[in-house]
Homo-oligomer: A and B are copies of this chain.
Amino acid sequence: MNKSINITTDTLFDLSAYLKEKRAILDDYLKKVIQELNPENELAKAIEHSLMAGGKRLRPILAMAAAQATGKDFRLALPAACSIEMIHTYSLIHDDLPAMDNDDLRRGIPTCHKAFSEATAILAGDALLTHAFTILTHNPRAMFDPCPNDEILFKLVAMISRAAGAHGMVEGQMMDMQATGFLDQHNQSKVNIDNCLAHLKKLHELKTGKMIVVSVESGALSAGADPDQIERLAKYAGKVGLAFQVADDILNVEGDPYVMGKAAGSDAMNNKMTFPALLGLEPSRTFARNLIQEALEPLNTFNEKDILPLKAIAGYIVDRKR
Mark A residues whose CB is within 8 Å of B: 37-38, 41-44, 47, 90-91, 94, 97, 99-100, 117-120, 122-123, 125-127, 129-131, 133-134, 136-139, 150-151, 153-155, 157-159, 161-162, 164-167, 170-171, 173-174, 177-178
- A282 to chain B: closest CB distance in Å? 34
Q: In the assembly, what is the distance between CA of A41 and CA of B174, in Å?
A: 10
In the complex, the count of this chain's copies comes to 2
Residues in B with CB closer than 8 Å to A171 are: 41, 43, 127
- A158 to chain B: closest CB distance in Å? 4
Residues in B with CB closer than 8 Å to A167 are: 37
Partner of A170 from the list B43, B137, B158, B159 (CB cut-off 8 Å) is B43
Residues in B with CB closer than 8 Å to A153 are: 154
Main secondary structure of the interface of A (DSSP, over half): helix
Closest residue of chain B to A130 (Cβ to Cβ) is B165
Closest residue of chain B to A42 (Cβ to Cβ) is B174
| Residue from A122, A155, A162 whose CB has the most chain B CB atoms within 10 Å | A122
- Pair A42/B178 contact, Cβ less than 8 Å: yes
- A156 to chain B: closest CB distance in Å? 9
| Residue from A130, A153, A162 whose CB has the most chain B CB atoms within 10 Å | A130
- A217 to chain B: closest CB distance in Å? 14
- A93 to chain B: closest CB distance in Å? 10
- A181 to chain B: closest CB distance in Å? 13
Closest residue of chain B to A170 (Cβ to Cβ) is B127
- Pair A43/B174 contact, Cβ less than 8 Å: yes
Partner of A161 from the list B41, B120, B138, B170 (CB cut-off 8 Å) is B138
Partner of A131 from the list B139, B159, B166 (CB cut-off 8 Å) is B166
- Pair B130/A161 contact, Cβ less than 8 Å: yes
Known: A99-B122, A137-B158. 12 other contacts (CB 8 A): A43-B170, A47-B166, A123-B170, A123-B174, A129-B130, A130-B165, A131-B161, A137-B154, A138-B162, A139-B158, A150-B151, A157-B157
Closest residue of chain B to A44 (Cβ to Cβ) is B166
Contact A158 B130, CB 8 Å, known A44-B166, A100-B119, A150-B151:
no
- Pair A130/B41 contact, Cβ less than 8 Å: no
Residues in B with CB closer than 8 Å to A170 are: 43, 123, 126-127, 130
- Pair B166/A127 contact, Cβ less than 8 Å: yes
Residues in B with CB closer than 8 Å to A164 are: 130
Residues in B with CB closer than 8 Å to A47 are: 166
Task: Provide a sorted-by-A list of 8 A–B residue pairs whose CB atoms are within 8 angstroms.
Answer: A38-B166, A42-B178, A94-B123, A94-B126, A130-B165, A133-B157, A137-B161, A138-B162
| Residue from A42, A127, A177 whose CB has the most chain B CB atoms within 10 Å | A127
- Pair A100/B122 contact, Cβ less than 8 Å: yes
Closest residue of chain B to A129 (Cβ to Cβ) is B129
